[in-house]
Chain A
Amino acid sequence: MQLLEGERELILSTVEEVLQNSSRNREDLIPSLQRVQSKLGYLPALAMEKLAEGLDIPAVDIYGIATFYNQFRLNPPGKYQVKVCMGTACYMKGGEITLESFERRMEIEEGETSPDRLYSLERVACVGCCTLAPVVVVNDDHIEGYVTPTRVDGIMLEFEEADQKEEETEKETEEETKKTAAEGGKNK
Chain B
Amino acid sequence: MNDYVNITIDDRKIKARAGEKLLWVALDNDIYIPHLCAVREKERSNASCRLCFVEIEGMARPVTSCTQVVREEMVVRTRSTRIDRLVKTAFELLLSDHNLSCRECPANGNCELQKIAKERGLKLRQKRFKAIERDHTVDDSPDEFAFDPSRCVLCGRCIWADREEAGVGAIGFANRGINSVITTFEGVSLAESICTQCKLCVEACPVGAFYYKKDKKA
Contact = CB atoms under 8 A, between A and B. Distances in A.
Interface string A57-70: 11111011001100
A81 B175 CA distance: 22
A48 B171 CA distance: 15
A61 B175 contact: no
A68 B184 contact: no
Given A58-B163, A58-B169, A58-B170, A63 B176 contact: no
B185 interface: yes
Contacts of A61: 169, 172
In this complex, the member of A45, A57, A60, A67 whose beta carbon has the largest number of chain B beta carbons within 10 angstroms is A60
A45 B186 contact: yes
Contact of A68 (B169, B171, B176, B185): B176
Interface in B90-148: none
B175 A68 contact: yes
A58 B184 CA distance: 10
B174 interface: yes
B206 to A, nearest CB: 21
B170 A60 contact: yes
Nearest to A48: B185
A111 to B, nearest CB: 11
A68 B186 contact: no
A67 B169 CA distance: 17
Contact of A67 (B163, B171, B176, B184): B176
A67 B174 contact: yes
A64 B174 contact: yes
Contacts of A63: 172, 174, 183, 185-187
A67 B170 contact: no
Given A60-B170, A60-B184, 20 more contacts: A45-B185, A49-B185, A57-B169, A58-B163, A58-B169, A58-B185, A59-B169, A59-B185, A60-B169, A60-B171, A60-B174, A61-B169, A61-B172, A63-B185, A64-B172, A64-B174, A67-B174, A67-B175, A68-B174, A68-B175
Can you list the 10 inter-chain pairs with the closest CB atoms, starting with the nearest?
A: A58-B169, A60-B172, A60-B185, A67-B174, A59-B185, A64-B172, A68-B176, A64-B174, A67-B175, A64-B173
16 contacts: A45-B185, A45-B186, A58-B185, A60-B169, A60-B171, A60-B183, A61-B172, A63-B185, A63-B186, A64-B172, A64-B173, A64-B174, A67-B175, A67-B176, A68-B173, A68-B175
